[in-house]
Homo-oligomer: A and B are copies of this chain.
Amino acid sequence: MNKLFFRNDYGEGAHPQILAKLVETNLEHTCGYGLDAYSEKAAALIREKCGKPEAAVHMMIGGTSANMISLSAFMRPYEAAIAAETGHINVHETGTVEGSGHKVCIAASKDGKVLPEGVQAVVNAHTDEHMVHPRVVYISQPTEIGTVYSLDELKALREVCDRNDLILFADGARLGSALTCSEATVTLKDMAELCDAFYIGGTKNGMLFGEALVIVNKALHKDFRFMIKNRGGMIAKGRLCGLMFLTALENDGYFDWARHANAMADIIRAGMEKGGVKQFIPTTTNQVFPVITREQEKMLEEKIEFEHWGDVDEDHVAIRFVTSWATTEEDANALADIMEAL
């Protein structure tokens, strides 16, 4: 019997609608490098949905690449990013930001979310030319641990950025999940209104790959395509991203797929609650972090593919389940039953 798959949200190919579109358009001839009509249409649609007719939209190949290229485009060599300790750029990108020359300064955070006072403290601590100059606040919406910034929290970050001439940049690798979860108070338009730049993640929400980077702040537009190419992030068949985002956004499938992922996670969370299994960090997005005993973990490993997240105490561990557009209700229910019976 196959194990239930809750390891991640990039374990399959693409949403069938996406793949169908690629098959349908496969033999059409277009320009390369994202200058084709599909990419332009996708960009126009994104601008419209963001309510930002003058935003720059660029199709990036993946999250790490999008983060690194954006940050190195937005900063001069002595400038630094500010992130939570758990921030993806700080932990899980093998030093790409530093690799492009920039320090990542750690700001105090709560539940994976950067605190405005944490940002201010980092700014205050950097006083002269013997220290880096903090310039970009990097956040993830949702965070690496599945929590989401509320509208108020996002506005507070915008405010501390404005006060200190900082750029607010949001990693949206799982943006769909954040915008459609039960506690969501932030819309796509809010993201575009409050961030200088952010991206709409495709890889983890039904596409083969690709993130649509939206640069709202015009001061950051200049020569961005040079930066993409200079950092190795431009692919020849750029239309693929255009086609995939167009398909996902034209009928708001993008949001439906994310909503589905969240709903599947809700089923699991409900099972956990019935079974009295606690969450390490309570979430409403597509990542769930049960706290269980080591024995329970071993037992689950026989039936389920998931990730070990970390040790909680001598006896307990946190594990991670991730749902996606591809998670079936059947599988979610099966997992919920297992968790309830734990």
A interface residues with partner B (beta carbon < 8 Å) = 5, 7-8, 10-14, 16, 19, 22-23, 25-33, 61-65, 68-69, 72-73, 76-78, 80, 91-96, 98-104, 129-133, 203-204, 208-209, 223, 225-237, 240, 305, 326
Contact = CB atoms under 8 A, between A and B. Distances in A.
B229 A130 contact: yes
Contacts of A14: 22, 26
Kindly report how many copies of this chain are found in the complex they form together: 4
Contacts of A234: 62, 64, 129
Given A93-B130, A240-B208, A232 B233 contact: yes
Nearest to A92: B130
B94 A98 contact: no
B99 A95 contact: no
Contacts of A76: 73, 223, 226-227
B64 A61 contact: no
A184 B159 CA distance: 50
Given A101-B101, A227-B77, A237-B208, A132 B94 contact: yes
Contacts of A33: 130
A126 to B, nearest CB: 9
Contact of A95 (B11, B132, B305): B132
A328 to B, nearest CB: 10
A226 B127 CA distance: 11
Most B C-beta atoms less than 10 A away, residue of A76, A95, A203: A95
